[in-house]
A and B are shown apart, each in its own frame.
Chain A
Amino acid sequence: MVRALLLSTAALFAQSDVNALLRARCAGCHGAAAPGGLNVLDAASVESNAARIVEAVSAGRMPKGGRALGSTELAVVRDGLAAKMWWSLRPLQAAEKGSIDGFIRAELARKNLAPSPEADRRTLLRRVSFDLHGLPPTPEEVRAFENDRAPDAYARVVDRLLASPRYGERWARHWLDVVHYGESHGYDKDKPRDNAWPYRDWVINALNSDMPYTRFVEQQLASDVLHRDDPRAAPALGFLAAGPWDFVGHQELREGTTDKMQTRLLDRDDIVAQTMSTFVSMTAHCARCHNHKFDPIPQIDYYRLQAVFAGVDRADRPYDDDAAVYARRLSLLERKREAQRKLQPLLDKVEFASSPALIEVDDRIRDARSLITHIGEPKTPADAAEKKTLQGRVERDTVLRKQLVDALVGEATYATIAEGQAEVKWITGEINALPKPLHVYAGTSLFDRIGNFRPALEPRPVHLLGRGSVSSPGDLVEAGALSCLPSVRFERASDEGARRAALARWITAKDNVLTWRSIVNRVWHYHFGAGLVDTPSDFGRMGGKPSHPELLDWLAVWFRDHARGSLKELHRAIVMSAAYKQSSANREDAAKIDADNRLLWRMNRGRLDAESVRDAVLQTSGKLDLTMGGPSVRMFWFKNDHSPIYDYARFDPATPGASRRSIYRFIVRSVADPFMDRLDCPDPSMLAPKRSTTLTAIQALALWNNPFMIRMSTELAERAKTVDAAVELAWQRKPSNTERAFFEHHVSKHGLASLARLLFNTNEFLFVD
């Protein structure tokens, strides 16, 4: 880390010179009373604007009016400012040539450390299979690999694994962690989202088809704008709706109330936090109440990002298989939104008509209705009589109410409303005439109002909020991105989609150094159990620093330019490296120098995550159902009550799909699956760039006693029939003679299922060397 600061001698001079140069050439306009916030006389201001200054002078846009900087001067600015920047904001500095192992070995050599020898074949196959598929290899695959002495044996294994659809299922789960994907709303009234799954399938397919990363980002933020001709891209917008949603706040609270505004603020906050931590590993959400305390993110940047999403809500979004139908649908829906934009203010005149008499009648209606609900099914004749009286009252008051409203609104308004409604009705008819659409729960403004949940017909105004409070609105804010990096043009148009598209372009820009560092580090994290930066979603000052800065930059540039954003190429490069293939065995000498293995003198050992445990148990016992895609499997008993009930204890294991891979589980926010929860499956309401690994008694009980584990133990016994076969299925090796003796003895007393249960609970089953 220190070395990263050791720039060339010229650069060392540059650091002192750059201040003088900026003062001489820029202070005229960017001095103490500077426009745009930059003050070159202020060190902190220079630091937080460093990337923008470099970009502006390199592009020749600055200094304005004056002589452009010469090449020596440019070098002074570039090198001098790079040293002032936080590591993650510095320009990518990639060596011309390099390799993963070259960088790893260079760091090891600096500490007089040697790498470890390659792991044995069985260990290696087990490692790479769990890593790329989340499943163990079969005993046959292990034998084949052990006997394959061709020099490209391992390379062919990697090819096979990356070509299998199991790869997308495994790595999609990582992505869903990062974006806190869930299939119910969370909060009170945690309703299920029946149409969330197309997004999950989109992620799986995108990974399996090796979609270039730029496209992968663009589609999730703005496929409706940037990929309109591709209906398969529509479910990508599920990204925007991955997080929790406050049903009561959105659907029940009345328009115009403080709590309604707060609900919307927090909803957008969730989208901003998710987008920025996922794609650029920055904690922009820390700037909601004040300027970011640690990173160069002023409060206004945060609200600019809120404005990017000010036109979307989370709702079911229709799409089609057929491109022509989809295009027609989009244009009709947009036309309908136009019509509603004219109509809605008039409808609001009716909805919000008010007079003392009207308030009184409304109160009466509300009172009677709530008493009717409270009585429910009458239990006594008195209750029944009261209910009837109340119902009569509601009927009379409803008639009265209409008369009062009509008098207030007036006939002319009603006539205009009728015209508008006729237009909407015609468009709706055209839409209904299209083939029946599919739906994805996604970010959208193209939905019909439900209760008090209404679409934004144009982006809602976003104000800078004093201390983040909706009661202290400041100036109106335009959409934008982080000001510490070079900007792109954000349209001022009322079209909210253009804002999202602009943000997508900002993220995927070649010079967005955060994006490229973020994704290669994220992938590295899952392969090695620790990232080169150990905080994959936070590259700010509260996050970690890279253990191998040169490797990180080289890999980022290689991935962007050479691999053209191919994640499969990135996986291949990593798992083919000697660093990845080395043994995880401990070495006392090396542990003394680098106990945490930050320098990767050996491979890290890891415990299987919750999904891998469950999937491995299913595969081992021969029950794994590899059906792909489609609606999620509800592994609970469900009742759609006032607050829906999700009961995992009452799940019938004979339910179709119960043995499918864990990625196809229906993920409820308010009630975690207790089995998965105990294996550290993260709370789906929290962004989870890393999983924790705990080893508790309650986890031991889940693995030892959960009905699923007991059932699968019986299945494994039936499948294996012998001790040797059971051991080989579970451990991918034959038992030793001593082990066999103990196991045979146990089986003779308690049966093979009891041994199967034991095998599923061993560290050898649960850990990957």
Chain B
Amino acid sequence: MTRRNFLWQYGGGLGGIALAHMSAATHHTPKAKRVVQFFMSGAASQCDSFDYKPMLQKKAGEKWDPGEKVELFQSNPGVVMPCPWEWRQYGQSGKWISGLFPHVATCADDVAFVHSLLSKSNVHGPATFLQSTGFILPGFPSAGSWVSYALGSMNENLPVFVVLPDNRGVPPNGPANWSSGFLPAAHQATSIRVGSANPIHDLFAPEGSFVTASSEMDGLALLEKVNREHLASRTEDSRLDARIKSYEMAARLQLSAPEVLRVDGESDATKKLYGLDDPITEEMGRRCLVARRLLERGVRFVQLWSGADNGFPRRNWDSHEHLAKDHWEMAVAIDKPIAALMKDLKARGLFDDTIVHWTTEFGRMPCSQGSKGRDHNPFGFTNWLAGGGIKGGTSYGATDEWSYKAVDNPCYGYDVHATMLHLLGIDHTRLTYRHNGIDRRLTDVHGNVLREIVA
């Protein structure tokens, strides 16, 4: 077994093996080193946020006729429903953005909007999988696991791939959205429940057990001695040595993880920037601030979720019933923190090699569902990217006059994933893992790099 294969098979993930980070093998010169991804669970509306269509205001309340039969998830098409928020132009680029995201809007010149995304499913579960893993089926590795597999660690004392779920709960499909699928478990996400008493599973022994600080220290030292003795007659088996090292790394993680989660030391100005002083933005603000601390310490991929499952009372973006109320409650909690993270990364010189990606599983219809809601729209929705290697102030692709169907440069999550990997120095067609007879890729058999949004 070659050293490289060995690393991928047994380690490489959360401090699997020292030096794994040195072997990051890119296909070309990368423009970015890390990714922070915001996932709007439940389907955030494009036509109420970033995809400006004056027709919706002009024809508000009129019968909606896109000129063909429309097959919706739950309902029949209602009338044209205007966006409940006012649109304004921002920045040099003059990008139209609605009042739903006034803070993100101030970063418009750094952002490339992709307005012509399609989904292969109109159902939350499969569509969320498609955006997170590139497949509409369960069991496939998430983008973060692929990045871990491709690039390994930049800081052996911290995980490569971290997920910060919404404190209201997990999205449709649950943690399977950040599964490492068939990739070795070394590429599993580490889920951190920011703000909870026990943010990382098993980081420390449970309270009230026999474990003391000194038994911990003596125990680890003696364990190493015993394992080294066992190794002495089996020196050819590098797995045994790898296990010994994994305990050294575990001990370092015990030191580094609490430190990175501790935000008290941040300045008041920073805390304010992220909205930690306001109960509405405090939860997401704290997660965004932790994200920055993880990224600046070398974590490759941080995924933040906005929203839990599609249940009632509404706790994600799935606004079938009352969009003005539900979308507002979701957006107002995250708009300022997301903008703060971008600005803070910029101030610290990290923005230029960090990809910021905002996504959701599909969009929402320009017509009303019932009187106040919007149904699913897999035919056209928006993602945006910013930071490392992204051409700011651009808009790629377009939907029709209704924000119903992608008509100009229609594309899929595959293309966004391909672009993301490209910026990280990876050719998405060559990042493969053999499973059950197929050389699997994050992008399945699809994907084109969206050159127009690459700087």
Contacts and interface: CB of A to CB of B under 8 A. Distances in A.
A718 to B, nearest CB: 11
A670 B434 contact: no
Contacts of B198: 649
B71 A373 contact: no
Contacts of A247: 125
Interface string B158-176: 0100000000011011111
Interface in A682-719: 682-683, 685-689, 692-702, 704-707, 710, 713-714
A473 to B, nearest CB: 17
A179 to B, nearest CB: 13
A266 B370 contact: no
Contacts of A761: 223, 247
Interface in B124-142: 124-126, 128-129, 136-140
A537 to B, nearest CB: 6
A370 B370 contact: yes
Contact of A704 (B1, B247, B434): B247
B332 interface: no
Interface in B186-218: 186, 188, 190, 198, 201-206, 209-212, 214-215, 218
B138 A753 contact: no
A692 B210 CA distance: 33
A671 B308 CA distance: 14
B234 interface: yes
A713 B211 CA distance: 11
A370 B321 contact: yes
Contact of A642 (B17, B78, B310): B310
A449 B233 CA distance: 63
Nearest to A266: B137
Contact of A367 (B172, B234, B370): B370
B92 interface: no
A762 B229 CA distance: 11
Interface in B333-380: 369-373
Interface stretch (A89-97, A257-265, A424-432, A625-633): A257-265
Contacts of B229: 739
Contacts of A491: none
Interface stretch (A123-131, A144-152, A162-170, A744-752): A744-752
A391 interface: no
Interface in B232-268: 233-237, 239-240, 242-244, 246-247, 249-250, 252-254
A24 to B, nearest CB: 37
- The CB with the most chain B CB atoms within 10 A, among A246, A367, A649, A675, is that of A367
A743 B222 CA distance: 9
Given A692-B9, A714-B210, A371 B239 contact: no
B436 A283 contact: yes
B436 A678 contact: no
A321 to B, nearest CB: 35
B240 A686 contact: no
B314 interface: yes
B1 A596 contact: yes
Contact of A686 (B139, B235, B314): B139
Interface stretch (B25-33, B177-185, B280-288): B177-185
- The CB with the most chain A CB atoms within 10 A, among B169, B179, B252, B322, is that of B179
Contacts of B16: 694-697
A466 interface: no
A683 B179 contact: yes
Given A693-B239, A714-B210, A763-B240, A188 B175 contact: no
A696 B246 CA distance: 5
A244 B250 contact: no
Nearest to A586: B236
Interface size classification for chain B:
35 or more
B275 interface: no
B125 A697 contact: no
A540 B437 contact: yes
Interface stretch (A68-76, A358-366, A551-559): A358-366
A528 to B, nearest CB: 16
Interface in B5-38: 9-11, 13-17
A247 B140 CA distance: 19
Given A244-B137, A669-B138, A750 B214 contact: yes
A249 B376 CA distance: 14
A543 to B, nearest CB: 6
Nearest to A707: B206
- The CB with the most chain B CB atoms within 10 A, among A258, A370, A649, is that of A370
Contacts of B136: 266
Interface in A53-108: none
A706 B175 CA distance: 20
B223 A758 contact: yes
Nearest to B75: A366
A682 to B, nearest CB: 8
B371 A244 contact: no
Contact of B185 (A186, A585, A699): A699
Given A366-B370, A714-B210, A695 B227 contact: no
A594 interface: no
Nearest to B77: A363
A700 B137 CA distance: 31
A582 to B, nearest CB: 15
Interface in B68-95: 71, 73-76, 78
Contact of A257 (B71, B175, B226): B71
A674 B201 contact: yes
Nearest to B326: A374
- The CB with the most chain B CB atoms within 10 A, among A270, A368, A750, is that of A750
A248 B321 contact: no
Contacts of A586: 234-237
Nearest to B308: A643
Contacts of B190: 698
A248 to B, nearest CB: 5
Nearest to B325: A374
Nearest to B227: A763
Interface string A512-547: 000000000000000000000001011010110000
Contact of B210 (A253, A643, A754): A754
Contacts of A754: 210-211, 215, 218-219
B75 A363 contact: yes
Contacts of B185: 677-680, 692, 694, 696, 699
B324 interface: no
A376 interface: yes
Contacts of A695: 10-11, 16-17, 239, 242-243, 246
A766 B439 CA distance: 32
A646 B205 CA distance: 22
A641 interface: yes
A352 interface: no
Given A186-B138, A700-B246, A750-B215, A374 B239 contact: no
The 5 tightest CB contacts between A and B, nearest first, are A642-B311, A367-B370, A670-B174, A283-B437, A188-B172
Given A359-B76, A370-B369, A764-B230, 6 more contacts: A187-B138, A247-B125, A686-B181, A696-B15, A750-B215, A757-B211
22 contacts: A186-B138, A248-B123, A253-B73, A258-B71, A277-B437, A367-B369, A368-B370, A370-B373, A542-B438, A605-B234, A641-B309, A643-B170, A649-B198, A680-B185, A692-B9, A692-B185, A697-B246, A697-B247, A700-B246, A707-B206, A707-B209, A750-B212
Interface of A: 180, 186-190, 244, 246-249, 253, 257-259, 262-263, 266, 270, 273, 277, 283, 286, 359, 362-363, 366-368, 370-371, 373-374, 376, 535, 537-538, 540, 542-543, 585-586, 591, 595-596, 605, 607, 641-643, 645-646, 649, 669-672, 674-675, 677-680, 682-683, 685-689, 692-702, 704-707, 710, 713-714, 739, 742-743, 746, 749-751, 753-754, 757-758, 761-764, 766-767
